[in-house]
Amino acid sequence: MDRNVSTARETEASTTLSLRDVVKTYEMGADRVHALRGVSLDIARNEYVAVMGPSGSGKSTLMNVIGCLDVPTSGTYSLEGQMVAEMSEYQLADIRNRRIGFVFQTFNLIPRASIFHNVELPLIYAGVSKTERRPRVERAIERVGLADRVKHKPNELSGGQRQRVAIARALVGNPSIILADEPTGNLDSKTGDEIMAVLDELHAAGQTIILVTHEDYIAEHALRVIRLRDGMIESDTRTQRGNGGSPQARHERAAGE
């Protein structure tokens, strides 16, 4: 077999998602807002990518497109070899429930439900049997270090613990990708470091992670940083960690300045 053909097939097989010339335009009365202007990128399995950019750069819109929460005005989006534009609403809902795990800045937990039930909900929606749900929920909660908190409610936990619950909920469906939108935005720096340590461990275990952040030291946990400006990719670079360095080094330097 031709070496170039073999390499191309290996690259395609390892690609989790691929965007080509993605444009997203919103109609705001008589105005048109160009949120994305021809974005093209590939993200492979087990990549750890940070998306950065100023307010209005298009990073939230990009995450919504990747998470199948919004559809492009034009261009193509392929997720694990499937064209998203060709999927039915049922298929898109299934992707959001099973193949993409969402972690939000505001946690989005049900206040009166136990931690166990909060993490269990995606499996209930997916129709997973009660017998199968329990060990999966327990395993997800154990992975984020909250095995002794399963009966607690969100208001009985710290902010960092609540974010851990949100991560467990994202993990319980065994998703292909975790999308984390400002996962440390509501946390102090120490607690934020603890949450990033959880994400680092998940990546080391093989999880694909894409996170939005405005903090450089948070982005240094990723292996790759994509910067957006005015709806376009301004840069796409490897981080110090991606080049073999430690994400903690930059944080320590920043703390000392």
Residue whose token pair is 């129709």: 127
In a domain, 252, yes or no: yes
Residue pLDDT, tens place only, 87-103: 999 899 889 988 999 99
155 in a domain, yes or no?
no
pLDDT at residue 244 in the model: 61
- Looking at every residue in the chain, the average pLDDT score rounds to 88
Q: Is residue 205 part of a domain?
A: yes
- Identify whether the C-beta of residue 210 lies closer than 8 Å to the C-beta of residue 202: no
Residue 140, helix vs strand vs coil? helix
Per-residue pLDDT for 9 more than 50?
A: no
- Does any domain span residue 47? yes
Q: Tell me the residue range of the domain where 33 lies.
A: 15-106+175-256
pLDDT tens readout for residues 52-94: 999 889 999 999 999 999 999 999 999 999 999 999 998 998 8
Query: Is 93 inside a domain boundary?
Result: yes
Q: From the CB of residue 48, how many other CB atoms can be counted at a distance below 10 Å?
A: 23
In a domain, 29, yes or no: yes
Residue 48, domain CATH: 3.40.50.300
Residue 191: is its pLDDT beyond 60?
A: yes
* 170 vs 256, higher pLDDT: 170
Instruction: Decide which of 28 and 142 is more confident.
Output: 142
87-96, 235-244, 248-257: segment of lowest average pLDDT: 248-257
- Contact indicator for 77, 40 with CB cutoff of 8 Å: no
How much is the average pLDDT of 22-41? 92
Please give the tally of structural domains in the chain.
1
Domain contains 41: yes
Question: What pLDDT score was predicted for residue 242?
Answer: 67
Percentage of residues of the chain with pLDDT beyond 90: 74
pLDDT at 180 over 80: yes
Question: Model-level pTM?
Answer: 0.85
Residue 157 lies in a domain: no
